[in-house]
Amino acid sequence: MSVKFAVLGHGVVGSGVVELFYKNKKSIEQHAGTEMDIKYILDLRDFPDSPYQDKFTKDFNDILNDDEVTAVAECMGGVEPAFSFVKACLEKGKSVSTSNKELVAEKGDILLAAAKAHNCNFFFEASVGGAIPIIRPLHRCLAANDIDKVAGILNGTTNFILTKMYNDNMSFADALALAQKLGYAEKDPTADVEGHDACRKICIISSLVFGRHVYPKDVFTKGISEVDLADVAAADILGHAIKLIASVRRLDDGRILPVVMPMLVPHENIIAGVNDVFNAVLVYGDGIDQTMFYGRGAGKLPTASAVLADVIEAVKHKVTVFSQSWEPSSDNSFVAPVDALTTKWYFRVPADSNIDVEGAYTDENGTSFITQDKLTFGAAKAKAEELKALACIPVLD
């Protein structure tokens, strides 16, 4: 008996899912242990030249009310109508696999509960890190560990821009323009360069690792639009690279601290050498010490690969996988404010400030140095005002 599934959306990722499925159909069926086929592709547009034009529908109810369809790949993006469609599918007992990070970050707790209530699955490996396997390892391979910290580069666009600023001495504006020309950045790059994309991803990781839903609104998020070429150069002289880091850690008082910020990463940290559009995630646990997941974090086929892997999992699992879950959160008191961030800080101050600090570096752009003592976020901001600092950036510890 052939298992039928549907694809919601035929954009970049959705078309990649269809393409990759038919390209590797035999091996996918071997992994799933059954014959498979796509029965529907949902999209409001027409695709008269598609070899799969007979599978297209504009009516979601065709998919919802067809009992032959037991799994769905959601590749639409955004919260609505994706949320309504996914919830309806789960309530019909159809497992859903998604690449939609915004949906999971905002509504993951509700959708996981719906899947549990109707004995199906809501999978979202593709929502974080594209083809990099991170969701499944966190709740399976590393399940024996007490994980207290996750940190990494979760956005390829910003990493490409920072790499160009470092390697080619390009300004932020020029590097962004190049990223847009190459298709790495959208026409409106706000979600990437202001950190919103990375924020959604660290919310998903935080929720899974620490067991309660973390909302983007509760995560301090700062992008790279204010990173100056002078800081990239000075950081290198001081033995660091500037990266947009998304991180979460458990504090001594039991609260968790998720943040997204440009940070100085010491050259000896392996993340400092992750360049271009690549992503990397470091997981810290009491059994593993630390382990890194690395690869292309986005793109048509890499993301489609992760979506299809989840579809295969959905086909193989006839009951809900309870380890991939978290509880809803009625309040955010378990999320610490950004002032709980305590670390060393990088400052760049006007060259005439007469700062006498060990290890300081001075050029025509000012004097740059890293504090020897750790400061809270608030204390660092106060010091920046006192020094009339041109830049103030935390150091990843």
Domain membership of residue 369 (yes or no) is no
- Which residue blocks in 278-354 are alpha helix, DSSP H? 300-316
Report the distance separating Cα 88 and Cα 84, nearest Å. Answer: 6
**Pair 93, 64 in one domain:** yes
Beta strand segments in 130-239, E: 147-153, 220-221
pLDDT at 144 over 90: no
* Confidence at residue 136, expressed as pLDDT on a 0 to 100 scale: 87
- CB-based contacts of 83-91 (< 8 A; 24+ apart in sequence): 83/107, 83/111, 85/8, 85/60, 86/111, 86/122, 87/111, 87/114, 88/60, 88/64, 89/63, 89/64, 90/114, 90/115, 90/118, 90/120, 90/122, 91/117, 91/118
Domain membership of residue 352 (yes or no) is no
* pLDDT > 70 in the chain, percent: 100
**Pair 291, 161 in one domain:** yes
**Pair 74, 26 in one domain:** yes
* Coil vs helix vs strand at 96: strand
pLDDT per residue as tens digits for the range 386-396: 999 999 999 99
Which residues form the catalytic set?
201
What angle in degrees, to the nearest 10, is found between the helix axes of 82-91 and 101-117? 20
Domain membership of residue 21 (yes or no) is yes
How many domains does the structure of the chain reveal? 2
Token pair in block for residue 337: 């404010």
Domain membership of residue 107 (yes or no) is yes
**Pair 113, 33 in one domain:** yes
**Pair 90, 150 in one domain:** no
**Pair 118, 142 in one domain:** no
Cβ atoms of 238 and 290 within 8 Å: the answer is no
pLDDT per residue as tens digits for the range 40-89: 999 999 999 999 999 999 999 999 999 999 999 999 999 999 999 999 99
* Confidence at residue 261, expressed as pLDDT on a 0 to 100 scale: 98
* Confidence at residue 319, expressed as pLDDT on a 0 to 100 scale: 87
pLDDT at 201 over 80: yes
Confidence of residue 105 (pLDDT cuts 50, 70, 90): very high
Domain membership of residue 331 (yes or no) is no
**Pair 38, 64 in one domain:** yes
**Pair 180, 108 in one domain:** no
pLDDT per residue as tens digits for the range 4-16: 999 999 999 999 9
pLDDT at 140 over 90: no
- Burial category of 216 from C-beta neighbours within 10 Å (exposed 0-12, middle 13-18, buried 19 and up): middle
**Pair 182, 215 in one domain:** yes
pLDDT at 131 over 80: no
**Pair 50, 110 in one domain:** yes
**Pair 99, 149 in one domain:** no
Domain membership of residue 260 (yes or no) is no
**Pair 8, 90 in one domain:** yes
Domain membership of residue 353 (yes or no) is no
Which range marks the domain in which residue 122 is found? 3-131+300-316
pLDDT per residue as tens digits for the range 151-164: 999 999 999 999 99
Domain membership of residue 125 (yes or no) is yes
Q: Is the dihedral of CA 154, 110, 106, 199 positive or negative?
A: negative
- Give the domain CATH number at 216: 3.30.360.10
pLDDT per residue as tens digits for the range 271-312: 999 999 999 999 999 998 999 999 887 778 889 999 999 999
Instruction: Report the pLDDT averaged over residues 350-355.
Output: 86
- Give the domain CATH number at 99: 3.40.50.720
